[in-house]
Amino acid sequence: MALLTRARPRAAAAPPAGRGVRTRDGWWAAFFLAPQVLCLLLFLAFPLAFALVLAFVQWDGLGPVTFVGLDNLGAQLTSPAFLDATWNTIKIALITVPVGLGLAVAIAVGLNSIRGRAAHVYRVLYFLPVVTSSVAAALMWQIILADNENGVLNTSLERWFGISGPDWLFDPQWVIVSISIVTIWSSLGLNVVIFLAGLQTIPPQLMEAARIDGAGPWRTFRSITLPMLSPTVFFSTIVAVISSLQAFDQIYVLVDPYKNEGARTIVYLVWRLGFREFQLGPSSAAALLLLVLTLLVTLVQFAAQKRLVHYDS
Amino acid sequence: MKRALAVLALTAMAAAACSGGGGTGPGVRQDGGSGGKVTIRWSTWGSADDIKLYEEFTQDFEKRHPNIKLKLESVPKYADYHPKLLTQLTSKTAPDVIFVGDDNIGKFVTAGVLTPLNDKLAGPDSKSRPEDFGEGLYGGAKRDGTIYGVPNDTNPEVLWYDKKALQAAGITEDPAALHEAGQWTMAKYLDMNARLKAAGKAGSLFWNWYGSTYSFVGGFGGKVWDGGKFVATTDPKTRQALETLAKGYQDKTFLCVDLLPESDSANTQFVKHKAGFYAGGRWMIDIVKKGGEQDNYDIVPFPSPDGKPMPGAVAASYLALNKDTEHPKEAFTFLTEFVSKEGQLIRLKSGGAVPSVKGAESLVLEGGYPKHAKTFIDVRDTGFANYPEEVAVPGLTFAINEHLLKVWQGKLPFDQGMTELQKLVENHKG
Amino acid sequence: MAAITPTPGTPGTPRRVRPGQAALHAVLLLGGLAMLFPFVWMLLTSFKGVHQMINNPLDWLPDPWRPQNYPDALGKMPFGRAYWNSLYIAVVTVALTLLTSAMAAYAFARIRFRGSGVLFVLFLATQMVPIQVTLVPLYLMLARIGLVDSHLALILPAVANPFAVFLLRQFIRAVPVELEEAARIDGAGRFRIFWSVVLPNIRPGLGALGIITFLTSWNSFLMPLVFLNTEELATLPLLLQRFSGEHGAVEYGLILAASAIAVVPTLIAFLIGQRRIINSMAASGLGGR
């Protein structure tokens, strides 16, 4: 029992930095940070700043630039298209993040607990969607989800359960579910790999000790695995939330949002305003709002991290 | 482990150095200073097969103009082409000669990034005259008499029909024969669709784009734009046409190609005789050929209210000159040869387009396929590219189609759909 | 490196099949088959001819088998060159990303400097906006420094990867500080500690990150589409896009054969990578040597 308590989350103690190296540390930090920061400034930060400035102007990419203040932001915030897109985006995030990560943790823990040849086979299986070409995957899912005599899912539902299934791809309500299924299917493998990597850093002695203490599998999972895995889970949650808020690519191959208003996300709107209609101002305004939304959600997660995530030190 | 990491780091540095050296080779703007050779960059979209068709023209051109080297820069999909072009124009890295689609040309004309071509086309270096291209084809490429782009090739929208499918539905009359007799009316066409539907088939397959929709509207005698105004929702004939379409889509007399799953696409349905008509261009030859029963198919124009021939829609794209080109002379040489009769005869030899220039009709007629291939020429000569009013507003055509798709699916009551359509167009014109 | 060796733990109990194991296998296998399905379908369809795709699109097995799709697909476009382009871009991107992001992650995780927290949040914030937003400014910038239409235009922006820094920071924070303390007492400098103590201990993290970075680069479509003009520089995804025409295709067999050709190296990379990465840790206990 004593061991279990020790493995519980505790505040990350600051590394005991030796006295007198403080000033030098600044230089070391600069040295270690320099390559990333340089690339980042040039290729992410600068374009981002530029794009955000565009949110306050009217520009078609070719003609003159006119400053319009908050008009673009106001227009987006009151536009039904933007509000619908925001709601669609949030719905996708609310489904894919918990379900996708929950499944990935469960599968990773399962895979981690078995050894030998079978484990290899499973790992490869779960990773296959990640390498399956998106064209093939989209074709396949379209066949599965089609609402006609060829649709695998609906014909099966009809035959075995007498249920007539919804139009998975073209019904604006159901398309969110379809998108979520395909997104989870395609990203599961990567999350499993990350979690497996995280699980490998848990000292086996801890698990062993817990077992000797008589803790069951669930208890071990709750008290050791999950706390020890929490930094990785935290990372994956942040990434999954951000990427689900940026959802566009997977949707685009499955069902072109042009054909289904339920599949229109904020990034789709950004793309459309910017590149179909050449309205870089409103497009950037929508993007700025997306950034604010993402930042807010991420800050909330970081705040929650203090209570939920365990760092060894 | 240590060694592995060291190797990794070394590889990284070496490779970065390599790619630095190799990557900067083909620069953004290649002036080809060596030997007075000028490189003309030109851009288009297309699949591997489409791009291959340009090879022969390029070789021929470079042989006749040893001082010019052509460099084709293409993207695979039409939808991706204009966004990239915009980015290139913004940063002044766009090619010297550019393809522009009929739904985007208006925007670039307004922005003033294209060279006016009237003088050059009328000049001594020009291989063809402005009049060699049907007036209706210019669409948004001509504004107030100034030409900013030359139609490089076209695709007139016609109705392909499946004789077997019609027969199976008990239809004895041949649409092309009716057309020749001046009896190819909208009423007849709708009647055939109803019979196909009753026989368990789809009547017609339409892409959701202006070519099919506006041709259908034309068949009712309606107009979409009139004197700069969007009249589709107010003109009673147009409204009737759109309502007929919406009803047809909802009871599956008409199928919207955009909404069909890939596994059971319009192409496969048509070659499996599951539909009577399929609205499309000359590119359909490739599809019916792959189905293996090409003689079973023929073409007819869209029907008119009274059976008399009427203008139909023609998809066009334009070749335009980048205003910022550093080699306007050589760039124009390429442009004019590309769109000239000789140029089109070489580059359209195979493939599914119809020449835009008069005098190159033999390309379409020679093979004798489909039987009424001349219909392509007729539609081209009397047809129209999308309304200049519509293409002048970037994204408007796209927004209209997107909205109509909702109407076709019955997601909105028809009247509400029309009210919203009018609002949408007015907002865009802003 | 003696300090890393964990106190000898109890030797692993001999494996026997526990009651839950069978159920676990059943569930994992079932899920795995769902994952496998589209992949197998892709492979099978890649052997189908046009005729079968038109008439019986739902057939499971090709009839007749048409291996000719593969040479046909290969002959249609310069696959070899595109392969090489994609491969070396991905490898260079992975190598540079691993090195630079591990360095940055180390700074954030272990070095105390003023503004560390703020800088880290700013770091992350730059990746909270999708590429579609920054595409035009990024293009303007790359055009200015003359990198458009070169592979560096794909590599350098991809190396700027806040998520990678974040991921590795999470891993480094899980490395016991005592290991570094011990090395410091042995007289190792900052870089030495980073290189010989920290890096080996986050090997699973580096492996996972390597796989992700490789795949992202390998599958990247939008960036090459916009930044490359010259045919010779084209990457594999650009080539694959060229298979289908504007009006939908009928030759799915050919398209999927091409897709399969593109997928195989990533699969092999994973097969090699996952064995080494995930298993090495399990095999050798904690810490790498």
Q: Do A194 and C274 touch (CB under 8 A)?
A: no
Tell which CATH classification among 1.10.3720.10, 3.40.190.10, 1.25.40.10, 1.10.1510.10 matches the domain C78-284: 1.10.3720.10
Q: Across the interface, do A277 and B394 touch by the CB < 8 Å criterion?
A: yes
CB distance C95–B267 less than 8 Å? Answer: no
Total structural domains in chain B?
Answer: 2
**By residue range, what is the domain housing residue B60?**
34-154+316-376
Average pLDDT score over residue span C51-73: 83
Residue B1 lies in a domain: no
Q: What are B400's two structure tokens?
A: 């209209």
What's the mean per-residue pLDDT of chain A?
Answer: 84
Cβ within 8 Å, pair A146-B263: yes
Q: Which chains touch A (3 or more CB pairs under 8 A)?
A: B, C
Q: What pLDDT score was predicted for residue A18?
A: 41
A37 versus C38: the higher-pLDDT residue is A37
Q: Is 50 exceeded by the pLDDT of residue A10?
A: no
What is the mean predicted confidence (pLDDT) over B201-205? 95
The more confidently predicted of residues C20 and A18 is C20
| Mean pLDDT, chain C, whole residue set | 82
Residue A1 scores a pLDDT above 50: no
Average pLDDT for residues B70-87, to the nearest whole number?
Answer: 91
Whether the predicted pLDDT of C274 surpasses 90:
no
pLDDT (0 to 100) of residue C1 = 33
- For chain C, percent of residues with pLDDT exceeding 90: 26
Q: Does A143 touch chain B (CB under 8 A)?
A: yes
Burial of C267 (0-12, 13-18, 19+ CB in 10 A): middle
Residues in contact with A262: Cβ distance below 8 Å, sequence separation at least 6, in sequence order: A88, A171, A172, A173, A174, A175, A176
Q: Are B292 and C95 an interchain contact pair (Cβ–Cβ within 8 Å)? A: no
Q: By mean pLDDT, which of A5-14, B1-10, C89-98 is the weakest?
A: A5-14
Among the listed residues C153, C268, C120, the one whose alpha carbon sits nearest the alpha carbon of residue C220: C153
pLDDT band at residue B416 using 50, 70 and 90 as cut-offs? very high
B contacts of C137 (beta carbons < 8 Å): none
Cross-chain residue pair A146–B259, CB shorter than 8 Å: no
Interface membership of C210 toward A (CB under 8 Å):
no
Among A32, A235, A248, the residue with its CB nearest the CB of C111 is A32
Q: What percent of chain B has pLDDT over 90?
A: 68
Evaluate whether residue B29 is within a structural domain.
no
Q: Domain for residue B15, yes or no?
A: no
- In this structure, the answer to whether residues B279 and B292 fall within a common structural domain is yes
Cβ-Cβ contacts under 8 Å for B260 (sequence gap 6 or more): B266, B269
Do B100 and B211 sit in the same domain of this protein?
Answer: no
> B66 pLDDT exceeds 90?
yes
CATH code where residue B61 lies: 3.40.190.10
pLDDT at residue C57 above 90? no
Say if residue C289's pLDDT is above 50: no
What is the reported pLDDT for B263? Answer: 66
* pLDDT for C247: 67
Q: Is the ipTM of this complex over 0.85?
A: no
Interface of A with B in 256-285 (CB under 8 A): 256, 258-259, 261, 272, 274-279
Is C91 a residue whose pLDDT tops 90? Answer: yes
Half-sphere exposure of B74 (CA within 13 A, CB side): 19
Residue of A nearest to B391 (CA): A277
B316/B100 Cα distance (integer angstroms): 9
Q: Is the pLDDT of residue B238 over 80?
A: yes
Does C204 sit within 8 Å of A201, measured CB to CB?
A: yes
Render pLDDT for A208-247 as a digit per residue (tens, 0 to 9).
Answer: 888 888 888 888 888 888 888 888 898 899 989 998 998 8
Q: Which chain B residues are closer than 8 Å to C50 by Cβ?
A: 290
Domain ranges of chain C: 23-67, 78-284
pLDDT reading at C280 higher than 70? no
pLDDT at C278: 55
Q: Indicate which of B85, B104, B402, B427 best probes the interface with A, i.e. most A CBs within 10 Å of its own CB.
A: B402
For residue C13, pLDDT over 60 is answered with no
Question: pLDDT-derived band of residue A85, with 50, 70 and 90 as boundaries?
Answer: very high
Are B131 and B182 part of one and the same domain? no
Nearest-by-Cβ selection for C160 from A29, A40, A235 = A40
Judge whether B27 lies within some domain.
Answer: no
Please indicate whether residue B20 or residue A133 has the higher confidence score (pLDDT): A133
Domains and CATH numbers, chain A: 20-54 (no CATH), 70-308 (1.10.3720.10)
CB–CB of A3/A209 below 8 Å? yes
C75 touches chain A (CB under 8 A): no
Please indicate whether, in this complex, the C-beta atoms of B19 and C92 are within 8 angstroms of each other: yes
Enumerate the residues of chain A whose CB falls inside 8 A of the CB of residue B89: 61-62
Q: How far is A241 from chain B (nearest CA, A)?
A: 27
Residues of B in contact with C58 (CB under 8 A): 263
Residue whose entry in the numeric block shows the structure tokens 């026997």: C16
State whether residue B258 sits within 8 Å of chain C by CB.
Answer: no
- This prediction has a pTM of 0.85
Q: Residue B90: its chain A contacts at CB < 8 A?
A: 61-62
Place of tokens 């990419």: A61
Work out whether strand B38-45 and strand B68-75 pair parallel, antiparallel, or are unpaired: parallel
Judge if B207 and B301 occupy the same domain: yes
Res B33 pLDDT > 50: no
Judge: B26–C148 Cβ closer than 8 Å, yes or no.
Answer: no
Average of per-residue pLDDT across C113-117: 82
- B window 279-318, beta carbon within 8 A of C: 280, 283-284, 287, 290-292
B303 in a structural domain: yes
pLDDT tens digit string along B365-410? 988 889 999 999 999 999 988 888 898 888 899 999 999 999 999 9
Query: What per-residue confidence (pLDDT) applies to C19?
Result: 62
Residue B385 per-residue DSSP state: P
Q: What percent of chain A has pLDDT over 70?
A: 91
Q: Which residue of C has its CA nearest to A19?
A: C112
Please check the confidence at residue B84 and state whether its pLDDT lies above 70.
yes
Residue in B13, B90, B391 to test binding to A, most A beta-carbons within 10 Å: B90
Comparing alpha-carbon positions, the chain A residue that sits nearest to B407 is A259
* Chain A neighbors of B107, CB-CB under 8 A: 60, 278
Q: Which tens digits make up the pLDDT trace of A299-313? A: 899 888 888 887 754
| pLDDT at residue number B35 | 59
Whether B268 and B414 map to the same domain: the answer is yes
**Across A45-49, A205-209, B27-31, C187-191, least confident range:** B27-31
The length of chain B in residues reads 430
By C-alpha distance, which of B18, B426, B12, B16 is closest to B229? B426
Which pLDDT does position A96 carry in this prediction? 95
Q: Interhelix angle for B2-23 vs C79-110, to 10°?
A: 120
pLDDT tens by residue, A145-158: 888 776 778 888 88
Q: Closest to C170 (Cβ–Cβ): which among A36, A235, A248?
A: A235
Q: Same structural domain for residues B215 and B120?
A: no
Please give the residue of chain C at the shortest CA–CA distance from B77: C246
Q: Could you report the per-residue pLDDT of A97-133, keeping only the tens digit for each?
A: 999 999 999 999 988 888 777 888 888 888 888 877 6
- Which band of pLDDT confidence, cut at 50, 70 and 90, is reported for residue A7? very low
Nearest CA in chain C to A62: C136
Closest Cα partner for B404 from B392, B389, B417, B391? B417
Long-range own/partner contacts, residues B171-174 (CB < 8 A, 24 or more apart): B171/B195, B171/B196, B171/B276, B174/B298
Lowest model confidence (mean pLDDT) among B227-231, B264-268, B345-349, C221-225: B264-268
First to last CA, chain A: 21
Distance from the A36 Cα atom to the nearest Cα atom in chain C, whole angstroms: 6
Q: Is B5 on the interface with C (CB under 8 A)?
A: yes
Contact B353, B283 (CB under 8 A): yes
Q: Given this model, what pLDDT does residue B245 score?
A: 97
Contact flag C39-A129 (C-beta cutoff 8 Å): yes
Q: Give the model's pLDDT for residue A2.
A: 34
Q: Is residue B24 part of a domain?
A: no
- The answer to whether residue B390 sits within a structural domain is no
CB atoms within 10 A of CB B128: 21
Chain B residues with CB under 8 Å of C45 CB are none
Facing B47 at nearest CB: one of C92, C147, C243 = C243
